[in-house]
Structure 1
């Protein structure tokens, strides 16, 4: 039996390749995606498209990272490292309160590193719980966000964004640039339509 051809760039079956939606953008803020292993091969996931679109971004896959490995990811340089996550959210019992976010760091976006957890809310909470180093980071919380266009995966609330949407919104905030990431958000809409067509998901 022959194996399905796999795109070596997006790592999806050739028939479901998403490379047409990649938009080359160079962020000022360094983006690092920590992906839950169960998201790695999820057909509807948005993190791979995000990673391929943003120059010099990183993606690391694990639920619980070795401490020294995670330390080397988070603190590789002298940049200020922020975690994209609500300041407090349901289900965070046993999670240390995050240090305060110093808004003065917004003056130099090229000196910022943004950590994004890719997974469902339940998975991301578990990643936060199992990796105390993440709990030590100041958090960037997104408030008053537009409704998600991520209509191919279930969300509990309209303002719960996909990894790609949340990251774009955070980068627009940190870089004070609302236009830079619009092409990627527009391409994301095309990605969603593609998934709806491939998997017969209603709009």
Structure 2
């Protein structure tokens, strides 16, 4: 009986050695606003998940894995409510371009990482999120994350959404993040047959 060989992972980026992204990691992005990611468990081991990339590149990020109120309570209860916002679409949101007018200035941004269905479930299961001021984008850049199908026309990957936020609010250059994202896409698609790869990159 044959046993399946376990793939060896890079000790720095934690991707399989064959798709290591370390060559695409440039200088740290020094974000002023702390990013707190509430990550659905199903996203953790997905090769195409972008939170892992944010952890490699951002200077101030915290990732908490879970779904229910019990999973996130200890983190969310410690956040300064008056200077924390949730990145989430809907009514009564503040446009990201108006965040500079907030007083006090934001110190923390909560981001939910998962599919739309799972993101909405996490929001529903955590009432404390409903008390946070919400931020959304009136306009978004073109989605560059072509290897994972967007569920909505206005969707961005978590990396792109966070990068867009810190670019506007913190004045950070988000190009290192996009460079890393494109590097990950290149690594993930390099072993694909040509006709399969073409599906992702066709205009």
Q: SS in structure 1 opposite 2:30?
A: coil
In the alignment, which of 159, 174, 181 is matched to residue 169 of structure 2? 174
Structure 2: gaps spanning 5 or more residues: none
CA distance 1:106–1:164, shift in 2 (3 Å): farther
Please say which of residues 123-132 and 19-28 is displaced more in the overlay: 19-28
Once the 2 structures are TM-superposed, how far is the Cα of residue 34 of structure 1 from its aligned partner? 1.1
CA distance 1:171–1:42, shift in 2 (3 Å): same
In the alignment, which of 148, 151, 158 is matched to residue 156 of structure 1? 151
In the alignment, which of 114, 126, 129 is matched to residue 121 of structure 2? 126
Question: Which residues in structure 2 correspond to 1:48-63 (within 5 Å)?
Answer: 48-63=52-67
Query: Which residue matches 1:94?
Result: none
In the alignment, which of 10, 13, 16 is matched to residue 10 of structure 1? 13
Q: SS in structure 1 opposite 2:184?
A: helix
Q: SS in structure 2 opposite 1:59?
A: strand
Once the 2 structures are TM-superposed, how far is the Cα of residue 74 of structure 1 from its aligned partner? 5.3
Distance 1:161 1:99 in 2: 17
Query: Which residue matches 2:29?
Result: 25
Contact 2:36–2:111 (8 Å) recurs in 1: yes
Q: Deviations over 1:81-139 (max 9, x none)?
A: 11011024xxxxxxxxx78789432774xx52011111111111111011111121111
* TM-score scaled by length of structure 1: 0.81
CA distance 1:21–1:74, shift in 2 (3 Å): farther
Distance 1:86 1:170 in 2: 14
CA distance 1:100–1:136, shift in 2 (3 Å): farther
The size of the alignment, in residue pairs, is 189
Q: SS in structure 2 opposite 1:149?
A: coil
